[in-house]
Chain A
């Protein structure tokens, strides 16, 4: 069973294995469909209509399953690889180790936002964006430009303290843990991190930047932490909600898993530490 570790604690060899598996998936054509799927959901999930991947209770189980699919695709390349997570409350500057040339590569240059260091720099020839919002095919980042600060530990603790999973109307205006973690209201955790990274991470095609997986792995870990702290609380809503995935509804695009199936990940993977 896989152990998902903090990226800050990966060995040089673990970093290399992760990067190489991602590059191999990109090269064999298996990566870009993940980008397409994400964008399809992000543009079709709407507050007043059907919503599954985002701005809805299933934001968390949907991304849990999406990450599992991606992790399995990496493991098909290299069975030793597990998704690492980025604790952005701790590694919170543009010079943090995650942005090293041996891992995610650095910030974009000021002229055009192009990432010029690390394995995903366009000049390396291994990372061309094929599913994109615009004509630029190189990876871009503008760390700390769209918003100055990543969420703090205090911000994150305040969201973990919300004891209700989600609330009507089950969208971007909801109170509850899910929407505060997603970031449409309150101190803003998940959304803010996308904006802080900038470049493709700020777009609907955000999985074009491999840091997407590390960000969402940490969001998944925070859900896991919330569950641990709120043992009596469960996923809501439980039944009969139009346009929204109830506890036992199957989720597109897989149509095989329900939120209920995904609540307990301990049989599939664990996290190295608590938050």
Chain B
């Protein structure tokens, strides 16, 4: 496939994803909370099964869903109970005792919801792709 065809194909895929995401956003719970240090604490919303999301944010597909804690394969990140993907790649994340969230991309800053965390990661990535977390 030529570079051009590839790009067109990607764009088409993203548009389709965008349409699907628009539906999700219309029906799902949208809770966006961002807390910077010194900017007040994030208030955590409890993500239940209904808090899955699937949307295109700034051209990237972000998905979140409650996950089976036992199946988590990144050595010891116990108790996360939730999984976020960016364009299909897992974003390593963790839940704090107060219910807020952090990701490997923003590890010193708390977010009220997994969706807010996913969007912040997309902002930080500026189009770069996640690489699997190595826990040698």
Residue picked from B37, B39, B41, B75, most chain A C-beta under 10 Å: B37
Contact B128 A203 (CB under 8 A): no
Contact B77 A134 (CB under 8 A): no
**Using a CB-CB cutoff of 8 Å, which residues 168-222 of chain A contact chain B?**
169, 171-173, 183-185, 187-188, 190-192, 194-195, 202-206
Tell me whether B134 is interfacial, beta carbon within 8 Å: yes
With A43-B74, A146-B109 in contact, is A195–B134 under 8 Å at CB?
Answer: no
- Majority SS at the chain B contact face: loop
Measured between alpha carbons, how far is A130 from B51 in the docked complex, in Å? Answer: 35
* A203: chain B residues within 8 A (beta carbon): 104-107
- Majority SS at the chain A contact face: loop
Measured between alpha carbons, how far is A50 from B75 in the docked complex, in Å? Answer: 12
With A43-B94, A44-B77 in contact, is A192–B37 under 8 Å at CB?
Answer: yes
Contact A134 B107 (CB under 8 A): no
Contact B98 A133 (CB under 8 A): no
**Using a CB-CB cutoff of 8 Å, which residues 111-147 of chain A contact chain B?**
112-113, 131-136, 146-147
Contact B106 A147 (CB under 8 A): no
* Interface segment, one of A34-42, A157-165, A230-238: A34-42
Residue picked from A149, A184, A192, most chain B C-beta under 10 Å: A184
Q: How far is the CB of B117 from chain A (nearest CB, A)?
A: 13
Q: Number of contacts between A and B (CB, 8 Å)?
A: 117
Tell me whether B27 is interfacial, beta carbon within 8 Å: no
* A146: chain B residues within 8 A (beta carbon): 36, 106, 109
Q: How far is the CB of B26 from chain A (nearest CB, A)?
A: 31
With A134-B130, A172-B97, A202-B106 in contact, is A149–B38 under 8 Å at CB?
Answer: yes
Residue picked from B92, B95, B97, B126, most chain A C-beta under 10 Å: B97
Measured between alpha carbons, how far is A147 from B107 in the docked complex, in Å? Answer: 14
Tell me whether A79 is interfacial, beta carbon within 8 Å: no
B37's contact among A50, A113, A147, A172, by CB below 8 Å, is which? A147
Measured between alpha carbons, how far is A135 from B128 in the docked complex, in Å? Answer: 6
Contact flags B3-46 to A (C-beta < 8 A → 1, else 0): 00000000000000000000000000000000011110100000
B135's contact among A43, A49, A149, by CB below 8 Å, is which? A43
* A133: chain B residues within 8 A (beta carbon): 104-105, 130-131, 133
With A42-B107, A44-B77, A192-B37 in contact, is A135–B129 under 8 Å at CB?
Answer: yes
Contact A202 B79 (CB under 8 A): no
Contact flags B41-85 to A (C-beta < 8 A → 1, else 0): 100000000000000000000000000000000111111000000
**Using a CB-CB cutoff of 8 Å, which residues 84-136 of chain B contact chain A?**
92, 94-98, 104-110, 124-126, 128-131, 133-136
Tell me whether A47 is interfacial, beta carbon within 8 Å: yes
Measured between alpha carbons, how far is A242 from B5 in the docked complex, in Å? Answer: 57
Measured between alpha carbons, how far is A173 from B125 in the docked complex, in Å? Answer: 29
Q: Which residue of B lies closest to A174 (CB)?
A: B97
Contact A36 B36 (CB under 8 A): no
Q: How far is the CB of A212 from chain B (nearest CB, A)?
A: 12
Contact B124 A202 (CB under 8 A): yes
* A194: chain B residues within 8 A (beta carbon): 107-108
Contact A147 B39 (CB under 8 A): yes
* B134: chain A residues within 8 A (beta carbon): 36, 39, 131
* B97: chain A residues within 8 A (beta carbon): 47-48, 169, 171-173
Residues of chain A having any CB pair with chain B under 8 Å: 36, 39-40, 42-44, 46-50, 55, 112-113, 131-136, 146-149, 169, 171-173, 183-185, 187-188, 190-192, 194-195, 202-206
- 10 tightest Cβ-Cβ pairs between the two chains A and B: A44-B76, A192-B37, A173-B97, A194-B108, A191-B108, A47-B97, A188-B37, A134-B128, A204-B104, A49-B78
